[in-house]
Structure 1
Amino acid sequence: MAHSHSHSTPQGANDGNARRLLLAFLITAGFMVVEVIGGLISGSLALLADAGHMLTDAAALLFALMAVHFARRPPNSRHTFGWLRLTTLAAFVNAIALVLITVLIVWEAIMRFRHPQPVAGATMMVIAVAGMLANILSFWILHRGSEEKNLNVRAAALHVLGDLLGSVGAIVAAIVILTTGWTPIDPILSVLVSCLVLRSAWALLKESVNELLEGAPSSMDIAALKRGLRREIPEVRDVHHVHIWLVGEKPVMTLHVHVIPPHDHDGLLERIQHYLEHHYQIAHATIQMEYQPCSGPECHLNETQAEHAHHHHH
Structure 2
Amino acid sequence: MSGSDLDPHLAPAYRRALWIVVLLNVGYGLVEIVGGFISGSQALKADALDFLGDGSITFLALLSIGWSLRWRARSALLQGLFLGALGMVVLLNAAYRTIMLNQPEADLMGIFGFVALVVNLASAAVLVPHRTGDANVRAVWLFSRNDAIGNVAVVIAAGLVWWTGTPWPDLVVAFVIAGLFLQSSWVIVRDARRDLGSS
| TM-score band, normalised by shorter chain | 0.7 to 0.9
Flag the 1:37–1:155 CA change in 2: closer, same or farther, 3 A.
same
CA distance in 1, matches of 2:92, 2:4: 50
For 2:122, the equivalent position in structure 1 comes to: 137
- Range that drifts further, 56-65 or 129-138: 56-65
Which has the larger share of strand? 1
- 1:93 and 1:8 map into 2 onto residues whose CA distance is 26
For residue 15 of structure 2, the aligned residue among 18, 25, 29 is 18
* Structure 1: segments with no counterpart, 5+ residues: 1-5, 72-81, 216-244, 247-314
Whole-angstrom CA distance in 1 between matches of 2:26 and 2:139: 17
Q: How far, CA to CA, are the matches of 1:64 and 1:101 in structure 2?
A: 18
**What is the rounded CA distance, in whole Å, between the counterparts of 1:98 and 1:9 in structure 2?**
29
Q: Which residue identity does 2:91 align to in structure 1?
A: V
Calculate the TM-score normalised by the size of structure 1. 0.54
Counterpart AA for 1:119 = P
Partner Cα distance (2:41, 2:191) in 1: 32
For the Cα contact (< 8 Å) 2:139–2:188, is it kept in 1? no
Counterparts of 1:108 and 1:9 in 2: how far apart (Å)? 43
Contact 1:59 1:94 in 2 (8 A): no
State the 1:110 CA deviation. 1.9
1:95 corresponds to which of 80, 88, 113: 80
1:189 to 150, 173, 177: 173
Matched, 1:201 2:196: no
- What corresponds to 1:35 in structure 2? 32
Q: Which runs of 4+ in 1 moved over 6 A?
A: none
Distance in 1 of aligned mates of 2:3 and 2:101:
59
Are the equivalent residues in 2 in contact too, given 1:53–1:194 (CA < 8 A)? no
Match in the other structure for 1:301? none
- Pairing partner for 1:165 from 140, 149, 155: 149
2:42 is aligned to 45
Q: How many residues align?
A: 196
Identify the residue that residue 110 of structure 1 maps to in structure 2. Answer: 95
Identical residues among aligned pairs (%): 25
Distance in structure 1 (CA, Å) of the matches to 2:31 and 2:139: 24
Q: Which has the higher helix share?
A: 2
Q: 2:160 aligns with which of 176, 184, 189?
A: 176
Q: Which residue of 1 aligns with 2:2?
A: 7
Q: Which has the larger radius of gyration?
A: 1
Task: Specify every segment of 5 or more residues in structure 2 that has no aligned partner in the other structure, as ranges.
Answer: none
User: CA 1:140–1:206 in 2, change beyond 3 Å: closer, same or farther?
Assistant: closer
Shift of 1:34: 2.0
Partner of 1:232: none
Please state how far the C-alpha of 1:8 moved relative to its aligned partner.
7.5
Cα RMSD, aligned residues only: 2.9
**Counterpart-to-counterpart distance in 2, 1:202 and 1:47:** 23
Q: What TM-score do the two structures reach when normalised by structure 2? A: 0.81
- 1:59 Cα deviation from its structure 2 partner: 5.0
